[in-house]
Each structure stands twice: as C-alpha cells, then as structure tokens.
Structure 1
Amino acid sequence: MSVTGETVTQEELGGAKTHTATSGVAHKAFENDVEALLQVRDFFNFLPLSNEDPSPIRQCSDPWDREVAGLDTVVPLETTAAYDIKAVISGVADDSEFFEIMPMYAKNIVVGFARMNGRTVGMVGNQPKVAAGCLDINASVKGARFVRFCDAFNIPIVTFVDVPGFLPGTNQEYGGIIRHGAKLLFAYAEATVPKITVITRKAYGGAYDVMSSKHLRGDTNYAWPTAEVAVMGAKGAVSIIFRGKDQAKNEAEYIEKFANPFPASKRGFVDDIIEPRATRKQICIDLDMLASKKLGNPWKKHANMPL
C-alpha cells in the first residue's frame, strides 16, 4: 500500500478470508454464486416477512417431545475437557439442522438459526472447543449483533451456557473488553422476545450474568446436572479464600458446595434442573407458552447502547 507503506496483497487486505475470519465484516463466504444463492434462500426461510410478523412456523415431522439420549453423555466428566456445543444445538433442533452465522469469526461463541417444532429460533452457545468458551471482545460483539437481530424480527432466543469467564490479558483490557462485553449484556437485557437459557456446564462470574441469565430478564432458565454456577472455578476460588492452605481439602469442599446447580436453583436463578435428554421437549413447551409474550416496557425512543 503506497499510503501506509505496508506490503500486503489485495486478498489479504480485503478478501473473503480476511473479512469472514479476521474483521467480521462479512458473515459467510462461498465457493461460487450458485452456492451463495442457495444459502441465501435457506437463510430467508428462517425469517419473517417483516419485523411486524411473528417468528415463522412451518410443518414439522420431528416429534417435539423427542428425547435426545446422546446429550446425557455429551459433557465430559473432566470439567476442563472440551466438547462441541454444536452437537448440543443440532441435537435439540428439528431434524438436527442448524444454519450457523459467522462460522469463521470469533469461534468461541456460536450463533445461528434452527427450528424447534417448526418455529424459527435463534441459537447462541459458548464453544468450549475454542478458548475454553471464554468471552472476548469479538465474541461479545458477534453475540450482541445476533441477539439484536433476533429481537428486531421477533425470533425467540435459545442460549446454551458453558462459559468460564471473560478472556483476561492486556490485549483485551486495552481493547475495551468491559465496554464491548456490555454490548452483549445490553442486547440480552433489552430483548423482548422469548429468552430460554440452558446451562450445560460452567457459568462463572460476570460472563454467566451476561449470557441471558435470570438477572437479565431471562424467561426460563434451566441447568443440567453437570452445571456449575459460581463466581469462579474451585481452584481459583480456594487459592483466594484460603490462601493456599489445605488446598486439596478445601477445593473438594468448595466443589461439593458450589460446583453444582443446586445453590442457584434454591435462590431462583434457575427455574429447574433438567435431564439433558429432555432439553428439546422442555424448550418446545416453553416456546409455546411464551408465544404470546408481551412486555409493558416504559415508552422511550431507544436506550443508550454501550457503543
């Protein structure tokens, strides 16, 4: 580039790979125009005709009360082991179909469209396979934009939570992770569409709060038996509380007390603890119940989004 003196090719500066994987400007890239048009048709099939129409419903042959036995074992016994959140999303979706949005950008969060008993829903999930599912600047902005889009077009949002926290480091702090993370929190808090949340494993600290928690007006919030709702992981918490004394003993006690969904359930932060195999059935029941959801929010032009 003659202006800045950088040595860069046209493809590296503004090509498909750059804008789908690095900048996030483009949502998807395709091999040819035929594939692009077919994908756009699939995308439009998920959307209502206007922002005044409800989430579209089409005929579905996949039983709404189908049990998904594979979900009982999808979360590894080892809390630090990774698994694919897309397996959970596909498992509960009609005919296991999931239309992912921005698949190459901020892979630590997964967003896209699916159908539940024929009804279009927006799916959001932390991805434990990438950066342990931590939220960073790019993931927060990606998630916030998708949630806002769903809210604009009356599409219910289903959120799967497995988040150990916000990604630490000077790069994130200097980049404004607090401000950008607030965008995702704001998007969930202001969304008036039905919001259903399922905690599959880790739900730690502020990142748990951001992911459509009950504190952000989540309509129904559930936890699997493998869920851990706490300020932080046992190892980090014990090192602070007990300053390293009797580490193993105190860690085991902390896990028994807090590394499970029961304390959160007692306090009303989750509505129920459900078996993973019953997740699809429960979501379909809640979507029917929330189909007529109306909020009497105070009138205003708009709120002040943390841009």
Structure 2
Amino acid sequence: MALSPSLVDELARRRAQALEAGGADKIEGRHQRGVMSARERLEALFAPGTFQEVGLHARHNTRAFGMEGRPLPGDAVVCGTGFVDDRPVAAYSQDFTVAGGSLGEIHARKICAMLDHAVKAGVPVVGINDSGGARIQEGVGSLSAYGQVFYRNVQLSGVVPQIAVIAGPCAGGAAYSPALMDFIIMTRHDANMFICGPEVIRAVTGQATTLADIGSAEVNASVSGNVHFIAENDQHALDLTRRLLSFLPANNMLDPPHRLTPNLLLEDDPALDALVPDSPKTPFDVRLVVRALADDGDFLEVMETFAANLVIGFGRIGGVVVGFVANQPLVKAGTLDIDASDKGARFVRFCNAFNIPLVTLVDVPGFLPGIMEERRGIIRHGAKMLFAYASATVPKLTVIMRKAYGGAYLAMCSQDMGADLVLAWPSAEIAVMGAEGAVNILYRKELNEADDPAARARALAEAYRDEFASPYLSAGMLFVGDVILPRQTRSTLALALRGLLSKRENRPPKKHGNIPL
C-alpha cells in the first residue's frame, strides 16, 4: 500500500521547516562572518553521507513562559551519529540561530540521549557548543536540564572519550559540561567561555574588565588552562577534532588505533645525538626530540601555550600510539610548577583511562622554588604527578636525557613510581639535588677557605656529577635499566612498546584512590 501524497508532502514540509533552523537570513549572516551553521558543522565533521540525525522533529516545552506558539526547530540542537575515519562517533551541535541556542528541557534530553547512546555503543562523543545559556523562560527546569547533562558527562568520563568544541558563546553553567569533558577545542575569533561576564564582575567586585580579558580563546588556553587547543575557525576546529580522535580508542575496553607493521624497523637515528647540548645548563627545545621519536615526526601537542615548561601530546612510536610527557628546558628550565603538575597529572590519567602507553622524557632540575609556589600549594599539586604515575597501569617508559633531581625525578615516572623501563643517556644526571647546590652544602667550609672559591666550586661540582650523579651509578643500582646513546632511543622504545602491549597489572580492590586535588 503506497503512502498518500498528503502524508509524503507533510513529512517533506516538516523536514524542510526543521532544516531551515532559525531561517535563511540568520544562516547567511553566519556565512558572511565565516561561521558554519550547526548542521554544517556536523556534516563537516563526519565522512560524507554518514551523518544520521536523531530528534529532527523535537519540539520545545510549549508550557514555558512566553514560549507559546513560538517554533523552535529541533529545540536549538542538532544530534546524531556518523563516521570519522571509518569509526562511529556520537555528536551534538547547538544551533545559535534558534533561540540563541539556549538550553531547555527537550534540548537537554536530546543531548542526554546522545550521551546515553555513546555509552551503550562504546563510541566517542563530540559536543559543539554555541549557546546563549539556560532558557530563562523554562525556569528551574533549565537548571535541572543542565544537571542531567553534567551527570552524564561524569558517568561517561573514563568510559568513552569526550571532546568539546567551543564555537560560539559558552557562559555561566553552560561552561561546566565542556569542563567535565576530556578535551576542549575553542575557535579563536568567534567564541568565548566564562562563568561571570564583565558586567557581573563589575557589579559584584567593582573590577572593570572586558570579555577578551576573561573569556577569549587566548586567555582560556594560556592563562586559565581551560582549553587544550585553539582553532582558527570552524573548519580548523573540526580538523583538530578528527586528528585528536585518530589517536584515541573508541572506549576504555579497546586499544588505541595502533598502526602495527609485521616487521618492526629498528634503526639508529644519528640526528638525535646532536639535538641535546653538551652543557647541562644550555636550554634546548624538547619538542625536537619528541618529533624525532614520533613516527614521521607526527606529534599532536596538547595545551601548547599553558604551563609550557611541560610538553604533553600524542604520537606513535613504531606504530604504537603513545602519550608523551616531557620537561621543556626552554621554559623555566623545565622545572615542575603548580600549573605544569596539574597539566601533566591530568594527561597521564587520561592516557591510563584509555589504554595509551606513556613515554616520559626527563630533564628536570626540580620543583619550582618560590614563596608563591609554596603558599599556593606546590606540595599538593606536585603530589598529583606522583599519584597519577603511580596509579597508571599502562606501559610506562622513561628516558632521562639530562637532569633528574630530587622529588621531581620521582614525579617524572622513575622506576620506583612504576616505570616498566627506565633508560638514561650518557648525559643524564640523577641525584638528590643539583651538583652546585650539593657542593655549597657539603663543602661550604672548604669553599670559604679556597683561594679561588669559584674555580674550586666548579671542580667539586664536576667531581660530584661523576661520583654521585652518574647514570652508571643508577644503572649499577638497577634504578636505570640501560644507558644508551640518544641515537638508539627510538628503536629501543619501539621494541619495548611492542613487548609491553600485553601488559596486565592488578591493583588492590577499591572504589577509587583519593588524588590530592
């Protein structure tokens, strides 16, 4: 029995009305500013023809104050599934052309349905945020709706990867859903994210500020550390999303998308020998080392401009997806401070949750000294690094390139903190403290009586390095598995990673540990 023409026409009319969103004029206005519509963003994320929309005909709560008879196509959010690099992904995209993308009861139910689907199907979630916030007309119901989304963000945490794209306004309570997700990508020119706007801040505190000072992509990425990546526009944000997904498993029960080859290529890389300066005081860019170790130099750095004294990100070594954690001597001499500790600990915990092996590159003179660091809680924050590494059960490989002093040596995943293999270069220095500081403590009287204290201090420091900080001393005590040339690092790590892919480690049963937040 064929459908009557009237039924076919009604379906076409309703579908066209939903696809029109806030109207052609509003969509065209976005295009003139170089901004995509909500549905265009999803179509650009997914492989052509794979997007399946859910909730196209959703209707808002018509009982809300002042909303009677007001059409809100899709209730201001587009939801569905599709494929990215032949892997399924669940996604939602808020539609600012419809009621400013405001979140109400049905809007939230659509998002929650996508999050529930992601758990059942075991697929990543991408949420594209572009909303004016809670729908005031729905009263406390809109707050309840936010709570339902937040609750699911927490339930999904550590189960499937969650990526938030901030492509427009994201203010007040709306900012907490992205904050509960694993990674945030924010467009540079068309987005903002904050809890209290300039007017509220001025009214409550008397402080004058601007939206750029508190909510811009630059501030969120470099100052507050809320954002992991800055994108130049919508298309760039979606490209970054796809690239990030290329390193992540679909869920916590699967391995990451390794690209293993039957024959592992094990060759020395002489270029690595020249990357690190001879002098332990001469800074160098550790990202050059990371790219030399990563297959084809492909390294996706995370939080590039926040706490730049620690470099984190994803790459592959011998086809195995790894998370890199590396001290950056170019910034604060590679010391660990409060922000770097938070940055590193959260990344380590993410990698552990999703079965991503960790490669740690060490050149750390210690934790950053200072009155403000102590008063702000460097002890508590630094302990997060210790907690994260010690609780991680994924393969953990550590390479000590140069300095590894004091508690920071432990915080950068020493053998005692659970590293499966610790390698050291001949330039490594492993000790309770740096040679200069140790000499000033151990030989203070001798230096005071020397004819040339500076020259004597240099000689004693060199002797201290040879006797107490030598990598061979640590290797002799089995704290270091092997001392290798830099050129051998890539092949050594690749071989070790292959051997550790079957690693299994059991821990005492418990609900969860109590990380020093």
TM over 0.5: yes
Alignment of 1:266-277 (within 5 A): 266-277=476-487
Partner of 1:41: 242
Aligned partner of 1:163 among 353, 358, 364: 364
Alignment of 1:48-87 (within 5 A): 48-58=249-259, 64-87=265-288
Partner of 1:226: 427
Contact persistence 2:401–2:424 (CA under 8 A): yes
Q: Deviations over 1:58-89 (max 9, x none)?
A: 26699631322111121111111100110111
Residue 257 of structure 1: how far off its partner (Å): 0.9
Contact persistence 1:71–1:88 (CA under 8 A): yes
Q: RMSD value over aligned CA atoms? A: 1.5
Q: Deviations over 1:196-244 (max 9, x none)?
A: 0000000000000110100101100000000000111111101001115
Aligned partner of 2:514 among 271, 296, 304: 304
2:400 equivalent to 1:190 = no
Distance 1:137 1:62 in 2: 43
2:461 equivalent to 1:251 = yes
Q: Deviations over 1:229-270 (max 9, x none)?
A: 011111110100111524434223212212321111111111
Partner of 1:32: 233
Distance 2:301 2:380 in 1: 26
Contact persistence 1:199–1:223 (CA under 8 A): yes
Contact persistence 1:64–1:116 (CA under 8 A): no
Partner of 2:488: 278
Contact persistence 1:62–1:94 (CA under 8 A): no
2:219 equivalent to 1:18 = yes
Distance 1:244 1:211 in 2: 34
3-state SS of 1:2 partner? helix
Counterpart amino acid of residue 126 in structure 1: N
Distance 1:62 1:22 in 2: 45
Structure 2 CA distance for partners of 1:61 and 1:132, relative to 1, 3 Å? farther
Partner of 2:474: 264
Distance 2:445 2:404 in 1: 24
Q: TM-score normalised to the size of structure 2?
A: 0.58
Structure 2 CA distance for partners of 1:62 and 1:31, relative to 1, 3 Å? farther
Q: Percent identity?
A: 49
Distance 2:262 2:273 in 1: 24
Counterpart amino acid of residue 222 in structure 1: L
3-state SS of 1:304 partner? coil
Larger Rg: 2
Partner of 1:200: 401
Partner of 2:179: none
Contact persistence 1:238–1:244 (CA under 8 A): no
Aligned partner of 1:141 among 328, 331, 342: 342
Counterpart amino acid of residue 21 in structure 1: S
Residue 37 of structure 1: how far off its partner (Å): 0.5
Aligned partner of 2:317 among 87, 107, 116: 116
3-state SS of 2:466 partner? helix
Residue 296 of structure 1: how far off its partner (Å): 2.0
Equivalences, count: 307
Partner of 1:93: 294
Higher relative contact order (CA 8 A, sep 6+): 1
3-state SS of 2:470 partner? coil
Residue 144 of structure 1: how far off its partner (Å): 0.2
Contact persistence 2:320–2:498 (CA under 8 A): no
Contact persistence 1:90–1:98 (CA under 8 A): yes
Partner of 1:126: 327
Residue 138 of structure 1: how far off its partner (Å): 0.1
Contact persistence 1:200–1:227 (CA under 8 A): yes
Contact persistence 1:62–1:95 (CA under 8 A): no
3-state SS of 1:245 partner? helix
3-state SS of 1:301 partner? coil
Residue 299 of structure 1: how far off its partner (Å): 1.1
